Every structure is written in structure tokens, then in C-alpha cells.
Amino acid sequence: MSLSAYNRVSINLTALRHNFQLVKKMAGPDTAVLTMVKSDAYGHGLVPVAESLNAAGAGYFGVASPEEGVSLRRAGIKGNILVLLGSVEAEPLIDYNLTPVVFERENIRALSAAAVRRAAQIGVHLKMDVGMGRLGIMPMELQAYVREIESLPGVYLDGIMAHFPLADTDNQGITRAQDKIFRQQLNELSVGRRVMCHIANSAALIRFADTHHDMVRLGIALYGCSPVAGPLEPVGLKAVMSFQSRVIQLKDVPAGYGISYGHLFKTRVPSRLAVLPVGYADGYLRSLSGRASVLIRGRRAPVRGRVCMNACVADVTEIPGVETGDEVVIMGQQRCGAAEDEITADEVASWMGTINYEVLCLFGSNNKRRYI
Ligand SMILES: *Cc1c(COP(=O)(O)O)cnc(C)c1O
């Protein structure tokens, strides 16, 4: 991580809470919202994001590891914390009241034995694979797993879940078929107690209203980005993360001047260049070379030549009045007089050849964050 003093990732907690209220309304009164704060809240900062959501009424949190769950409890987060990758150790689950996702018989038995030793009870969510092709038991194993969990002391079934692989694509038939498998398995099951059933992510929240069940698990929509590849009908989400830097040097160079390593770019006309203290160590990947633009004085300045470890070069020949120290927006909105523009996470993702999720994680985890 390079914590350059020039660079700031800004996290707008007002936008976060706006998105939370919006998705709660979309989920409706009978469906709980689990807010996904795994992976340092998609780069937005695990504890500050969870605290803000908890204060706004969020009662379910999703983390990847028990360690993230422990951090939340130590910060005083109340409510249910679901550990998506489960846990081989029972102690943090018991000591900090965390709910593991389970998908392995031996693991369930070990959790049971440990809970009995501690005279504790561990609630678990059983994960089914209805076509994700990743974590989870196969649908035909569900009955046997549920019976086993119900017969073991120290553990109890609190939820049954699955995950959609294609809810963000145009192939709606597959998502509907997978939800049907999920529904059928649940219908055939008799469970002694009420369990939370959940399968929908952000894309399914927006596009498949009949897959919401008892709870929706939302990540990217909370952070104000589109979960859908391609254009999304406007739902009013607001981007939570933006990324600002500064111009550290301005210079005029003649036509035919090579810029940065490899001279990937040579100026065609006499040009004014702005050197920026942002590079791949800050998550501004080298794959952005020759593709990206930044905002200076409310206007787009193309990034020229290779992006280096800690620096890159923007062409400001067409932008009058630029000065050293001017704010540079790497991602987000900028206004300057009548000029106004925005660079979205989706746009950066298209330049990087990736998805908005990865852009948020990269920028958020490699820079100092400030909360506004
Ligand atoms: C990350 C994750 C989600 C949230 O997905 P988004 O597309 O960000 O809403 C939901 N469920 C599981 C199992 C996940 O790992």
C-alpha cells in the first residue's frame, strides 16, 4: 500500500445510508437486508461502513472470514454476522456470536463437538449449490445435511442459502430455473424451526423480485454501483467512493516528445503535461496506460504513456488555467465553473478490463480514506 499524502479516497457515508434506505424499500417489508461488508466493505472500510449501517438500522452483516466478524464485534456492532466462508475454529464463533456458513459434514461435526465442550449453541446457515458451481452442498444432499444438523447437539439450523452466478446477465432463464430448484428443495423440507432462506444478491434484488425470499444479500448496490453488466435502468443509487489527487508538476513540451517508460506515447503537437502522484501502487493499474482519463478543472484530461508505480501523466493542453496543486479526480464527480463531469467506477473498470467491484477494492484498499 502506498499512502501518498496527495491522494485521498473519499467515502460518502450519506450516500451509503441513502442507498441502504433505497434497497430496503426495494426489498420490501417482509424481506431482511443483509449488508455485505466483506473484504473491508468492498474497499470502503469494514468498521466505519458497518457502524454507519448499524446506526441506520442494518441488522445483518456478511463478512468473508471470522477475523472480519471479530473486528465488527470489537467495534460494538450489534446484530447478526454471517461468515460466508465458514470457520474451522469454533472459538471466535462462540466468543463473538458469529454465524458460520456451513457446507462440509466434518466441519459441522467439529463445530458441534466444540460447542458442546463450551456448553454453547452455534447457529449455522447451510449453503446449497443450485448451479453456482462454487461453494455449497448439492441439492440432493440437502435433506441429509439438515437431518444431521438437527440431530447434532450444540449446532442448530438458522438459515439455508444459495447464490446466483448469472443474475447480472441477460440469461434470465437460468436464474429463474435456479431459484426454482432452491424453492423446490425448501418446499420438500420439513425443519423443526423457522430458518432464513436467502439467495438474491444486488443484481437479483433489482431484476428478480420473486427471488427475494426472507433476505437479500447486498454488496455492490449499497456502494452505489451497478451490479448489472451493461446499462441499468436508473434506480437512484449514489456512488459512495471517489478518488482525488493533485497536480504535482506542470510542464510544456514540444511536439514529438516521448512520455514515460517505453515512450508509448509521443506528443503530436506542443503540449502541456500535468504529472500526477498516482500509479499502480495506489491501485491505478498499469493496464490503464493509454486508456484512462482524469478530471481537472471539471474537464477530461487523457492519461498519456505508461502508468508508473507512483506516477502518471495527464495531457492538459486543451484545458486552460491548470495550476500545480489543482485537484485531480481519478474517479468521481468534479465541477469547476460551468464545466462538470464524472468518471464512474464502471468507466474505470472498462479501461482496466475488469468490473466495478475490483476497482472499488483496489482504490479503497491502497489509499488513505477519508469519511464525509
Ligand atoms: C459478495 C456476495 C454477495 C453480494 O453480491 P453483490 O453482487 O455485491 O450484491 C452475495 N452473496 C454472496 C454469497 C457473496 O459472496
Question: Which of 39-48, 96-105, 160-169 shows the lowest mean pLDDT across its residues?
Answer: 160-169
Q: Which amino acid is at 332?
A: G
pLDDT classification of 230: cutoffs 50, 70, 90: low
Q: What is the CATH number of the domain that holds 49?
A: 3.20.20.10
In this structure, are 297 and 216 located in the same domain? Answer: no
State the average pLDDT over residues 274-293.
97
Is 363's pLDDT higher than 80?
yes
Q: What are phi and psi of 129, to 5 degrees?
A: -105, 100
In this structure, are 202 and 121 located in the same domain? Answer: yes
pLDDT classification of 232: cutoffs 50, 70, 90: low
Q: 157 lies in a domain?
A: yes
pLDDT for 310 equals 96
Exposed, middle or buried, 58 (CB in 10 Å: 0-12/13-18/19+)? buried
Q: 1 lies in a domain?
A: no
Distance 218 CA to ligand 1 centre (A): 6
Which residue stretches of the chain are H helix? 13-27, 38-42, 46-55, 66-74, 91-95, 105-117, 142-151, 172-187, 202-207, 345-352, 356-365
CA distance 63 to 98: 10
Q: Give the angle 232-235-240 at the CA atoms, nearest 5°.
A: 95
User: What does the radius of gyration of the chain's CA atoms come to, in whole angstroms?
Assistant: 24
In this structure, are 209 and 261 located in the same domain? Answer: no
Mean pLDDT of the chain: 95
Q: What are phi and psi of 17, to 5 degrees?
A: -70, -35
pLDDT classification of 169: cutoffs 50, 70, 90: confident
Is 98's pLDDT higher than 80?
yes
In this structure, are 210 and 280 located in the same domain? Answer: no
For ligand 1, atom 8, which residue shows the shortest CA distance?
A: 219
pLDDT classification of 228: cutoffs 50, 70, 90: confident
Q: Is 220's C-beta closer than 6 angstroms to any atom of ligand 1?
A: yes
State the average pLDDT over residues 252-262.
97
pTM of the model: 0.95
Q: 235 lies in a domain?
A: no
Q: Give the angle 350-351-353 at the CA atoms, nearest 5°.
A: 60
Q: pLDDT tens digits for 179-202?
A: 999 999 999 888 777 899 999 999
Q: What is the CATH number of the domain that holds 328?
A: 2.40.37.10
Q: 58 lies in a domain?
A: yes
Is 3's pLDDT higher than 80?
no
In this structure, are 191 and 267 located in the same domain? Answer: no
Which of 89, 108, 107, 110 is closest to 98 using CA atoms?
Answer: 89
Q: 26 lies in a domain?
A: no
In this structure, are 78 and 185 located in the same domain? Answer: yes
Which of 78, 180, 251, 261 is catalytic? The answer is 261
pLDDT for 2 equals 54
What is the domain extent for residue 357?
241-371
In this structure, are 212 and 248 located in the same domain? Answer: no
H or E segment to which residue 71 belongs: helix 66-74
State which of 223, 252, 268 marks the end of a domain.
Answer: 223
State which of 165, 188, 223 marks the end of a domain.
Answer: 223
Higher pLDDT residue, 313 or 232?
313
Q: 22 lies in a domain?
A: no
Q: Is 163's C-beta closer than 6 angstroms to any atom of ligand 1?
A: yes
pLDDT above 70 coverage of the chain, percent: 98
In this structure, are 252 and 214 located in the same domain? Answer: no
Residue 261 annotated in active site: yes
Distance 135 CA to ligand 1 centre (A): 13
CA-based end-to-end distance of the chain: 22
Is 24's pLDDT higher than 90?
yes
State the average pLDDT over residues 338-367.
97
Mutation probe of ligand 1 site: the residue of 60, 68, 201 with most atoms within 8 A of C-beta:
201
Q: 9 lies in a domain?
A: no
Atom of ligand 1 nearest to the CA of 227: 7
Pairing of strands 327-336, 32-36: unpaired
Q: For the chain, what is the domain count?
A: 2
In this structure, are 190 and 64 located in the same domain? Answer: yes
Q: 205 lies in a domain?
A: yes
In this structure, are 73 and 216 located in the same domain? Answer: yes
Atom of ligand 1 nearest to the CA of 219: 8
Distance 222 CA to ligand 1 centre (A): 11
Distance 10 CA to ligand 1 centre (A): 23
Distance 180 CA to ligand 1 centre (A): 20
State the average pLDDT over residues 284-306.
98
CA distance 175 to 163: 10
State the average pLDDT over residues 113-135.
97
In this structure, are 77 and 216 located in the same domain? Answer: yes
Is 241's pLDDT higher than 90?
yes
In this structure, are 202 and 134 located in the same domain? Answer: yes
CA distance 25 to 50: 19
Which of 24, 25, 38, 357 is catalytic? The answer is 38
Atom of ligand 1 nearest to the CA of 168: 7
Is 287's pLDDT higher than 70?
yes
Mutation probe of ligand 1 site: the residue of 37, 40, 84 with most atoms within 8 A of C-beta:
84
Residue 257 annotated in active site: no
State the average pLDDT over residues 84-99.
97
